[in-house]
Structure 1
Amino acid sequence: MKRKVINSLLFLLVLLIIGSISEKVQASPLTSNGWQLKWAIKNNDFEDVNIEEYGHNAGTTNVWMVNQDGVDAWGTTNPSGNIEVWQNGNGYNIPAFSGNNFIELNSDGIGPVYQDIRTIPGSNLTWKFSHRGRNGTDTAGLLIGTPESQTEVTRVSDGETWGTYEGNYTVPEGQTITRLTFDPISTANGSLTSGNFVDNVELYINITGAKIGDVVWYDYNGDGIQQDNEDPAPGVKVELLDMDGVVKKSTTTNNIGSYLFEDVLPGEHQVKFTLPDDRFIFSKSNQGDNTEINSKPDKTGIATVNVPNLKSENFDVDAGITTNGKVEIQKLSGDKALSGAVYSIKDSSASEVAKITTDNLGKGSAEGLPPGNYTATEVTAPTGYVKNTTPKNFAITYGDTNPVNLVFQNTEKTGAIKIFKQDEQTKKGLASAVFSVKAADGTTVKKATTDKEGYALIESLLPGTYLITEEEAPPGYSKSDKEIRVTIPFNPQEVVNVTFSDEKIKVTPKPTPTPTPPATAGDTPVKVTETATKATVLPQTGDNSDTASIFLGMLVVATGGIVIFRKNW
């Protein structure tokens, strides 16, 4: 039967869309038996009345006899064809229940009033109306059925105050037009033309809407996908919201972790899950290819759900919850805490899940990490320190909500000193000069030798004060006795340049020795005695000329040549 009702309803909704029925269908608040849609009734509180063209005064202020053609959508079996319309401000000071107008069933004759409405066979309708007596207790009945035959569904009696009534009516098979008739039965004074006021006639169709549901489970491995060994999570609060965040329904998961929302109208909705406490977080959403077993809500616990039609049943809106993993990073240089270091936390798929920046205590943390393997990598070092390029791996375990502690050490940025060694006169660079760099306590830190251009670069010097001295001078130069004090600042940005100048050593020229002619075979060696040698070295007087020495050498060479020639001849 339900299937037939829904199919008929959908058919009629199509009729509404194409304009064959002009009434608007509107949803009323959720009720215990589903949704009520305001259904196909016109001029329900008798406000649409053409008194000017079809009416005439009934004998008192603001009371009119109006031909049924002037009362939109309503008809009467009164032989005169009139419907008696009362308005606020009438001579009896009787107010309308709704709006400005209401009607009297006992008019200028016994005047049952009716309206014919299109209905869906098999559907369940809820009717509502208000009734009042005029001069005491009046009684009227509501009849519902076909235009040819109606059955009384209720009989009401009221004194001089408005009473409200409602009830249900199931449309029989084949009944596509249903008539509602309000019949005056009796009046307080027995007059057939005085009594039984009616106002605010409403009609609703009751429908069972779509369904949304699934389960909430404990996600032990944090992957956002249900496994057979993962248990259901009972007692979790689940709410159905509209797209403006207004709560429409609320429930909690049962002992197998499931929940269900029924009677949901088509459209966009939100399902909101609430964590049991701060030990838990929601699993990764929409993981894997199987939508039947993956978690749907985002980190805030909200999943958006589209309901395409009244017959829709969406049983895939499930949620995984897992424990709240944390990591804490300590940034140090030795024992000194460093602020401003930035770390990227990535999961096993290399997706960044968090960023951490250390505070003035050198600490930073991230939470909301589901179980799994992670890597922490330094992406920005504190000012003045060298970035630590070695990542650290760590794991988050289900149930352990204590932070994983990681310590990263950094060293200060180092500076450099460039020494230039030059000739004091020419300013030309000198190679092979050896320099030492000493710390403030006198400890030698490094030594360096100048290259062929006269430069020596000393690198990797921590911030501090250094003393530079020349240990060895280049050949031919005297060593500089100058000491230069240099400071490498914190967070050095450029090389510190220093210059040393050396003087050339003055050298006295040595005298050139006299060449001795080579000995020849057969010659009698001439023994040159010390006396002879001394005799040939004459005291130098007068002009300092070498002419005599040159002439004597030439004579010796010529004599030797003659001896050799004669012997060979």
Structure 2
Amino acid sequence: MKKAITLALAGLSTTAFGANLIGNSGFEIAPTGTPAKTYGAFIAQYNEGDVDSWETTATDGLIELWNSDTEGVDFDVVAYEGNTFAEINATQEATLFQDVVIGAGIGVDYLFAHRGRNGEDTMLFTIDYLGENGNDAAVEAYSLQVTSDNDAWRVHYGNEVFTTTTETAGVYRFSYQAVSTSGGNLKEGNFLDAFASGEGVADDYPGTGSFVAVPEPSSSALLILSSTAFLARRKRK
């Protein structure tokens, strides 16, 4: 199901650090439908069409959401932000993603919280450029693979990992791909919460609270490579 693309710089949500391009970034907007599956009182899988802003590559189209009330019931896990978080491995190794339009001259920051379920889980975060109207083959603008244990949320953030230009303004896909889980179970692993991206969202991130803050360096080499790919694509049109 193709969802409406979030428009950059128009009606954006804000964090304490800047404007957030991502819709339903902490999974706090209640799903519109009833769960397709439930596991106890606090874990539910919803059809992706019922979950605001997010899509999945899972073949069954299910997105799994957890409630912080799981604390002391099945797992001692509290959402990093608010009361709800997602598990990328709902029924299989898949990718959660959403597409946004980013105008020219935006220095793109990102910030997200990741945590393992039963031990160390690994996921791949990517930002892909899909062209001016979102119809081109994906060109990678940024990627980061992270591994987190289940003892605390790891908050990963990067400042101005790339800056859009008039040539590279357009539709970008922000994706979280499950790579592996500690026990090898494709149905369990990779908790995700509090994703933000946009200009200034990671500025002066304080890194306080019950989690581990992990700053990530910007990749100028990747930026140059990506910019070259962008320009080459446009010249071929």
Change (3 A) 1:27 1:131: closer
Q: 1:156 maps to which residue?
A: 146
Q: 2:161 maps to which residue?
A: 169
Q: Structure 1, residues 290-333: CA drift from partner, whole Å, max 9, x if none?
A: xxxxxxxxxxxxxxxxxxxxxxxxxxxxxxxxxxxxxxxxxxxx
How big is the shift at 1:123?
2.1
Q: 1:23 aligns with which of 5, 8, 12?
A: 12
8 Å contact kept, 2:19–2:200 = no
Q: 1:188 maps to which residue?
A: 182
Q: Determine if the alignment matches structure 1 residue 84 to structure 2 residue 64.
A: yes
8 Å contact kept, 2:106–2:198 = no
Q: 1:143 aligns with which of 126, 129, 132?
A: 126
Q: Structure 1, residues 350-378: CA drift from partner, whole Å, max 9, x if none?
A: xxxxxxxxxxxxxxxxxxxxxxxxxxxxx
Q: Determine if the alignment matches structure 1 residue 73 to structure 2 residue 53.
A: yes
Q: Which amino acid aligns with 1:111?
A: A
Q: 1:116 maps to which residue?
A: 99
- Secondary structure at the aligned position of 1:107 is classed as coil
8 Å contact kept, 1:83–1:111 = no
- Secondary structure at the aligned position of 1:194 is classed as coil
Q: 1:198 aligns with which of 173, 192, 197?
A: 192
Change (3 A) 1:97 1:28: closer
Change (3 A) 1:43 1:150: farther
Change (3 A) 1:150 1:188: farther
How big is the shift at 1:149?
1.7
Q: Structure 1, residues 15-56: CA drift from partner, whole Å, max 9, x if none?
A: x3xxxxx324x5855xxxxxxx313221110011326x2413
Change (3 A) 1:23 1:54: farther
Q: Which amino acid aligns with 2:138?
A: S
Q: Which amino acid aligns with 2:161?
A: Y
Higher normalized contact order (CA 8 Å, seq sep 6+, divided by chain length): 2
- Secondary structure at the aligned position of 1:58 is classed as strand
Q: 1:130 maps to which residue?
A: 113
Q: Structure 1, residues 385-424: CA drift from partner, whole Å, max 9, x if none?
A: xxxxxxxxxxxxxxxxxxxxxxxxxxxxxxxxxxxxxxxx
Q: Structure 1, residues 199-246: CA drift from partner, whole Å, max 9, x if none?
A: 000113149xxxxxxxxxxxxxxxxxxxxxxxxxxxxxxxxxxxxxxx
TM-score relative to the length of structure 1: 0.30
- Secondary structure at the aligned position of 1:42 is classed as coil
Equivalences for 1:525-544 in 2 at 5 Å? none
8 Å contact kept, 1:54–1:69 = no
Equivalences for 1:248-397 in 2 at 5 Å? none
Distance in 2 separating the partners of 1:67 and 1:169: 32
Q: 1:61 maps to which residue?
A: 41
- Secondary structure at the aligned position of 1:195 is classed as coil
How big is the shift at 1:58?
3.4
Distance in 1 separating the partners of 2:34 and 2:92: 18
Q: 1:45 maps to which residue?
A: 26
Distance in 2 separating the partners of 1:39 and 1:47: 15
- Secondary structure at the aligned position of 1:106 is classed as coil
Q: Structure 1, residues 464-509: CA drift from partner, whole Å, max 9, x if none?
A: xxxxxxxxxxxxxxxxxxxxxxxxxxxxxxxxxxxxxxxxxxxxxx
- Secondary structure at the aligned position of 1:145 is classed as strand
- Secondary structure at the aligned position of 2:198 is classed as strand
Distance in 2 separating the partners of 1:107 and 1:27: 28
Give unmatched runs, 5+ long, in structure 1.
1-11, 17-21, 30-36, 208-569
8 Å contact kept, 2:21–2:100 = yes
TM-score relative to the length of structure 2: 0.69
8 Å contact kept, 1:114–1:182 = yes
Q: Which amino acid aligns with 2:182?
A: A
- Secondary structure at the aligned position of 2:49 is classed as helix
How big is the shift at 1:122?
4.1
Q: Point out the more displaced range, 53-62 or 111-120.
A: 53-62
Structure of larger gyration radius: 1
8 Å contact kept, 2:62–2:90 = yes
Change (3 A) 1:120 1:63: same
How big is the shift at 1:117?
1.2
Q: Which amino acid aligns with 1:205?
A: E
Distance in 1 separating the partners of 2:20 and 2:66: 25
How big is the shift at 1:144?
0.2
8 Å contact kept, 2:65–2:84 = yes
How big is the shift at 1:103?
0.4
Aligned residues: percent identity?
26
How big is the shift at 1:162?
0.7
The number of residues matched between the two structures is 180
Equivalences for 1:545-564 in 2 at 5 Å? none
Change (3 A) 1:154 1:77: same
Distance in 2 separating the partners of 1:204 and 1:76: 22
Equivalences for 1:225-240 in 2 at 5 Å? none
Give unmatched runs, 5+ long, in structure 2.
1-7, 131-136, 202-237
